[in-house]
Amino acid sequence: MNRRAFFLCNLSCPRRCIYCDQEAITGEIHIPEPREVESAIEQLKEAVEICYFGGSFTCLSLAKQQAYLDIISKAPPGSQVRFSTHPLCFDKKVFSLLGNYPVSMIELGVSSLEDHVLDTCRRGYSGKEVLEVISLLLKKDFRVGVQVMIGLPGQTIESSLDDLEKLERVTGGKEITLRIYPCLVLKGTQLERMLVKGTYKPLSVQKAAEWAGIMIKKAQDLGFPVQRVGLQETASLSSSIVAGPHHPALGELARSEALVLVLLDLSAKGPWQIPSRQRSLLFGHNRYGLKILSESTGVCLEDIEKNILFC
């Protein structure tokens, strides 16, 4: 289904998280009113997924949420609505409102499940609270997307893996979709001030790819699809980044790291058989995946290459 995204930048966020500036991330300054969304949607001929991103949708007043949701009635038959929101903004009234609409997915900005990381980032909830919300959403049969971050202040690879296990325990066998966002330092944010003071050290591109790769492998083992790694590239984002693992192909590099981990699980030195469609994960980006495989096994690049068979 086609998707139309509307950015409600930082609209109704209960607080400003230390790393966030949605205008810089999306490049959108104007927040569309419901009537503007409606005029963009009503001309469409095919079913569409209307997406409200960049803010805390369920923290809006019920009347405003309803105004944005009602637009679905003007969209072609079969259309759905998806939004991102803050985990604390759910109550009986919100659930009763959402029950009237074809909600395809609720994306929760979770960041981390570690309380000290959440406190530092000014998220405003505990790990336990967000797990309760996820469990409730799944019990109410909503499809849930969980946005986690890596490289936050005080966060470690081990704590990220622990977060995935905690998530797995509350899903009760239901699927959740993950988006993994490496923490970037944007101009004018609290995180930039921490960087200047020396109290925050961002990840390198290499470290972020490795961390995200380990997460992807773990997510695969737990049965969670990973929908995306890294933010969507925009001119505004590029010009707002002060520091951090910004790379247009970070998602690919992370998937290369994950594939190498899978191969090493299968055999310590190869040979390995991989589907041709995964070729670029080893040979792309100047043989990024092959080089990691070579470093991890201690086998020279030339011999490693001979040990890769395509099927």
Q: What is the contact surface with ligand SF4 in residues (CB under 6 A)?
A: 10, 13, 16-17, 20, 22, 55-56, 86, 109
Q: How far is the CB of 53 from ligand SF4 (least distance, A)?
A: 9
Q: Which is nearer to ligand SF4, 52 or 101 (CB)?
A: 52
Q: Which is nearer to ligand SF4, 86 or 218 (CB)?
A: 86
Q: How far is the CB of 225 from ligand SF4 (least distance, A)?
A: 22
Q: Which is nearer to ligand SF4, 153 or 213 (CB)?
A: 153
Q: How far is the CB of 86 from ligand SF4 (least distance, A)?
A: 5
Q: Which is nearer to ligand SF4, 38 or 132 (CB)?
A: 132
Q: Which is nearer to ligand SF4, 7 or 272 (CB)?
A: 7
Q: How far is the CB of 93 from ligand SF4 (least distance, A)?
A: 20
Q: How far is the CB of 17 from ligand SF4 (least distance, A)?
A: 3
Three-state SS sequence of the chain: CEEEEEECCCCCCCCCCCCCCHHHHHCCCCCCCHHHHHHHHCCCCCCEEEEEECCCHHHCCHHHHHHHHHHHHHCCCCCEEEEEECCCCCCHHHHHHHCCCCEEEEEEEEECCCHHHHHHCCCCCCHHHHHHHHHHHHHCCCCEEEEEEECCCCCCHHHHHHHHHHHHHHHCCCCEEEEEEECCEECCCHHHHHHHHCCCCCCCHHHHHHHHHHHHHHHHHHCCCEEEECCCCCHHHHHHEEECCCCCCHHHHHHHHHHHHHHHHHCCCCCEEECHHHHHHHHHHHHHHHHHHHHHHCCCHHHHHHCEEEC
Q: Which is nearer to ligand SF4, 86 or 217 (CB)?
A: 86
Q: Which is nearer to ligand SF4, 57 or 272 (CB)?
A: 57
Q: How far is the CB of 215 from ligand SF4 (least distance, A)?
A: 19
Q: How far is the CB of 172 from ligand SF4 (least distance, A)?
A: 26
